[in-house]
């Protein structure tokens, strides 16, 4: 109950931002049930949202109105019949509540008086009539209107001995609370005694009790006056016990205090309260120390923990630093420190696990098995820092989970794509509000061991911002010589990461910080050839999608020939992600056949595939240049693997102008200029009339103009196209090439050899020209990948032209 409720003083509103705040004045209660106004309640009422006030039937309460919607409602209702519904909003902080944010039970009220305030607000005196249940809202503008149902509180008979005794007990308890309270005036006792109606007595005490709005709403919603009285008595007894306990605590504190302890009065009182409530902070301290006994950590960590616990003991639990310190200590307890899982050193079992989960990827598997072999022989080894790079969809990320399973270790993943704050790696200092440990420490805590396998996904996609460079923060994490003493700003002490097996993944290693790249062991995972994809689909993808779509074995049969058709005509990728999506689409179609009980052939045909997936999407990557002049097949690297491209040259009458089209980048334009200059410089050896350079314009075009193209590796392809155009010599059939050229006519090395070779094989190329410096890259490709392809290794442009152009 509130003292101001009996002071009869208005509490001024705080402007438009503070509205519907209940004025702290005593509600006027009718002295008898018969005096409560009887009105016909309309089926549709304007609904006034009360921010912090619950109006009970029979109560007369002033409120301050400041919201525009509420002011419009009051003015409209006041000019009419003066009847409205008053409903409490669930969250006092919401400025413009929606119907869902209002309680369903409220009170129908009549406006007795409206007073204009100087600040533009209205003070409205409302008289509560009956309890209502709000049904469907039929409008929200300019204010709420809703259908309502009147709920009549069932009032026990005046001769009901139980109810009379219950109300008498409520009154006696209220008297004791008023006498114990230091904020309530003793005159409140007389106000209660003057109430003759049992109903009004209950509602009066409900209105004036100091309760949170949720409790008042619960009292209003009570089914009948008897239930409301019982709940009210429970609350009154609780309030009485709290006041008695407070007096007891204050008396105890006064006895313990002396002159020197007066400065610590408040802190001592809080501690005593916590003792009485059973929430003494010493319990937290004891739990922390008990948990620390079972931790497997170094002596210096244990000493730091004890020191930090002692600091926690000296802190006041009411201040923010207490919760920060407690969170820090809980982190220390949750970290695994010296706890590690035992590695599975059964090499055959590990190899089987890796082979079952992923097809191919032999280099990665061998590196993992080598690591296990050394651990088996030596008993200990610093974990390597591996970086798997290659096009999307080849299984780089999923490989990490397979490695963890094969090793018998816990698995964690840290997504680095788009990361721009180094604090995400190293953590925030505890002095900052909302400080947290970095992602590395958080992942180790989540794994529960100090030797998990952690995937650093998309390490090439971190960005630099004004918050620092996260790739630089990773230098300490990924350096085997430094990560034994990794320092997290939040943990503020060293943590040993040397037992963690970090596996980074990337699509483009050139985008990785050079210093970071130097610390990792790079393993290239290039694209799969068609035969590999058929095996992956047969052994993994079909079973996976059948299970995901509820298909039984035999419901969807894809033969190798059909799989080849899907791969070659409906996907263009180095991995199998698009292939997986297409198989999923077929599985959905087959699930629909089964669900509709349609007849179907379990083994799909080419016609079935075209019906389900549509017309073939990719047909232009097949070799389609034969006996043509000036059109040469080049090889390109893309983010999704390799591809072939055609370079076309054409002479037109003119003055020797060079035109380049096809959305070419600066580097490729420079390569075209170099190629043209080299051809003009060597026109005699090439048998070209120099007058042609002055009388003709040369147009060079690379098809698919909407696709940006750049890079130096088309140098020898450009030269071959230009020479073919000027001399009229046809290009050798089914030949492709890649290599950078110089003004001196030297052919230099390029990148992405494996992806380019796989693209050439898919397109039906039989002869490939590559720089001599890339011979080692070709020899690293599996023999089955290059079966049927003849490689020519060249050092000069002349060698290229000798091989590429017909006599």
Q: Give the three-class secondary structure for 116.
A: strand
φ, ψ at 317 (rounded to 5°): -60, -20
- Give the Å distances, CA to CA, from 292 to 280, 333, 336, 385, 671: 20, 7, 12, 32, 67
- Give the Å distances, CA to CA, from 672 to 323, 678, 725, 743: 66, 10, 14, 11
Read off the DSSP letter of residue 23. Answer: P
Q: Where are the alpha helices (DSSP H) in 660-737?
A: 666-681, 683-686, 691-695, 715-727
Please name the helix (run of DSSP H) or strand (run of DSSP E) that holds residue 778, with its range, or none: helix 775-779
φ, ψ at 724 (rounded to 5°): -60, -40
Catalytic pick from 498, 713, 721, 724?
713
User: CB–CB of 689/647 below 8 Å?
Assistant: no
Tokens linked to 702? 């690379």
User: CB–CB of 208/7 below 8 Å?
Assistant: no
Q: Where are the alpha helices (DSSP H) in 501-621?
A: 514-518, 530-536, 542-548, 560-570, 577-595, 606-613
Which is nearest to 335 in space by CA: 238, 435, 235, 437? 437
Q: Give the three-class secondary structure for 477.
A: helix
Which is nearest to 198 in space by CA: 223, 231, 162? 162
Which is nearest to 240 in space by CA: 167, 165, 171? 171
- Give the Å distances, CA to CA, from 733 to 375, 580, 624, 630: 54, 35, 10, 13
φ, ψ at 465 (rounded to 5°): -140, -175
Catalytic pick from 22, 499, 756, 761?
756
Asked whether the bond before 371 is cis by omega within 30 degrees of 0, the reply is: no
Residue 10: other Cβ atoms inside 10 A: 15
Please name the helix (run of DSSP H) or strand (run of DSSP E) that holds residue 167, with its range, or none: helix 161-180
Nearest 5°: the CA angle 137, 141, 143 is: 75
Report CA 38 to chain centroid distance, whole Å. 57
Tokens linked to 179? 């006498």
Read off the DSSP letter of residue 612. Answer: H
- Residue 47 pairs in a beta bridge with 85, 144
User: CB–CB of 805/730 below 8 Å?
Assistant: yes
Tokens linked to 447? 């794994």
User: CB–CB of 27/63 below 8 Å?
Assistant: no
- Residue 503 pairs in a beta bridge with 386, 455
User: CB–CB of 77/122 below 8 Å?
Assistant: no
In three state form, how does the secondary structure of 278-326 look?
Answer: CCCCHHHHHHHHHHHHCCCCCHHHHHHHHHHHHHHHCCCCCCHHHHHHH
Cα dihedral sign for 668, 670, 674, 677? positive
Specify whether 713 is catalytic. Answer: yes
Q: Give the three-class secondary structure for 638.
A: strand
CA–CA dist 371, 382 (Å, integer): 9
Tokens linked to 18? 């503070």
Specify whether 158 is catalytic. Answer: no
What does R_g of the chain's alpha carbons equal in angstroms? 41
User: CB–CB of 655/697 below 8 Å?
Assistant: yes
Active site residues: 713, 756
């Amino acid at each position: 109950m509130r003292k101001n409720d009996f002071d009869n003083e208005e509490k001024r509103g705080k402007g438009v931002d503070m509205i519907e705040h209940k004025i702290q004045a005593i509600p006027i209660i009718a002295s008898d049930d018969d005096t409560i106004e009887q009105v016909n309640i309309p089926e549709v009422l304007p609904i006034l949202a009360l921010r912090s006030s619950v109006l009970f039937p029979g109560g007369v309460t002033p409120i301050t109105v400041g919201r525009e919607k509420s002011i419009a409602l009051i003015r409209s209702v006041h000019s009419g019949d003066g009847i409205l519904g008053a409903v409490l909003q669930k969250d006092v902080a919401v400025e413009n509540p929606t119907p869902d944010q209002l309680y369903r039970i409220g009170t129908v009220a009549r406006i007795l008086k409206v007073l204009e305030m100087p600040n533009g607000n209205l003070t409205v005196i409302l008289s509560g009539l009956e309890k209502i249940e709000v049904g469907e809202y039929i409008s929200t503008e300019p204010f709420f209107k809703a259908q309502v149902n009147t709920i009549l509180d069932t009032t026990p008979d005046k001769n009901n001995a139980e109810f009379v005794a219950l109300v008498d007990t409520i009154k006696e308890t209220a008297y004791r609370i008023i006498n114990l309270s230091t904020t309530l005036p003793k005159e409140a006792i007389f106000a209660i005694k003057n109430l003759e109606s049992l109903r009004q007595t209950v509602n009066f005490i409900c209105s004036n009790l100091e309760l949170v709005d949720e409790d008042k709403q619960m009292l209003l919603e009570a089914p009948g006056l008897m239930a409301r009285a019982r709940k009210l008595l429970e609350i009154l007894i609780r309030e009485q016990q709290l006041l008695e306990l407070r007096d007891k605590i204050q008396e105890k504190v006064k006895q313990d205090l002396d002159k020197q302890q007066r400065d610590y009065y408040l802190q001592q009182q809080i501690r005593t309260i916590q003792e009485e409530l059973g929430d003494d902070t010493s319990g937290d301290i004891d739990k922390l120390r008990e948990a620390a006994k079972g931790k497997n950590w170094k002596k210096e960590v244990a000493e730091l923990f004890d020191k930090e616990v002692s600091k926690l003991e000296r802190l006041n639990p009411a201040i923010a630093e207490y919760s920060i310190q407690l969170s820090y200590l809980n982190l220390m307890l949750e970290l695994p420190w010296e706890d590690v899982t035992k590695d599975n050193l059964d090499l055959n079992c590990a190899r089987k696990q890796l082979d079952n989960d992923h097809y191919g990827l032999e280099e990665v598997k061998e590196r993992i098995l080598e690591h296990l072999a050394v651990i088996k022989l030596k008993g200990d080894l610093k974990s390597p820092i591996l970086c798997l790079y290659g096009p999307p969809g080849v299984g780089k990320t999923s490989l990490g989970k397979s490695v963890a399973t094969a090793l018998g270790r816990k698995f964690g993943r840290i997504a680095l794509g788009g990361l721009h704050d180094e604090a995400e790696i190293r953590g925030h200092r505890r002095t900052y509000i909302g400080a947290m440990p970095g992602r590395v420490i958080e992942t180790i805590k989540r794994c529960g061991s100090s030797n998990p396998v952690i995937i650093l996904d998309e390490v090439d996609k971190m960005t630099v911002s004004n918050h620092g460079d996260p790739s630089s923060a990773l230098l300490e994490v990924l350096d085997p010589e430094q990560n034994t003493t990794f320092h997290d700003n939040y943990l503020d002490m060293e943590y040993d990461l040397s037992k963690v097996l970090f596996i980074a993944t990337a699509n483009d290693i050139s985008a990785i910080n050079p210093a970071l790249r130097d610390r990792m062991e790079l393993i290239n995972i290039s694209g799969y050839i068609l035969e590999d994809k058929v095996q992956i689909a047969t052994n993994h993808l079909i079973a996976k999608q059948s299970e995901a779509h509820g298909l039984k074995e035999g419901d969807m049969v894809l033969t190798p020939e059909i799989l080849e058709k899907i791969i070659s005509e409906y996907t263009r990728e180095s991995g199998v992600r698009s292939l997986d999506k297409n198989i999923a689409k077929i599985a959905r179609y087959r699930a629909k056949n089964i669900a509709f009980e349609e007849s179907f052939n379990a083994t799909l045909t080419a016609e079935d595939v075209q019906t389900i997936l549509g017309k073939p999407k990719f047909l232009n990557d097949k070799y389609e240049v034969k006996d043509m002049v000036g059109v040469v097949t080049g090889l390109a690297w893309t983010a999704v693997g390799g591809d072939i491209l055609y370079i076309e040259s054409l002479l037109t009458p003119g003055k020797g102008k060079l035109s380049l089209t096809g959305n070419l980048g600066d580097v490729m334009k420079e390569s075209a200029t170099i190629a043209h200059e080299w051809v003009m410089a060597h026109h005699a050896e090439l048998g070209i009339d120099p007058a042609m350079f002055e009388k003709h314009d040369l147009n060079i075009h690379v098809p698919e103009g909407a696709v940006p193209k750049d890079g130096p590796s088309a140098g020898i392809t450009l030269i071959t196209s230009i020479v073919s155009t000027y001399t009229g010599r046809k290009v050798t059939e089914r030949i492709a090439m890649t290599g950078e050229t110089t003004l001196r006519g030297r052919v230099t090395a390029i990148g992405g050899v494996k992806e380019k070779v796989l693209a050439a094989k898919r397109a039906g190329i039989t002869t490939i020209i590559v720089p001599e410096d890339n011979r080692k890259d070709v020899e690293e490709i599996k023999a089955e990948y290059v079966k049927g392809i003849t490689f020519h290794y060249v050092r000069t442009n002349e060698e290229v032209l000798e091989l590429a152009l017909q006599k």
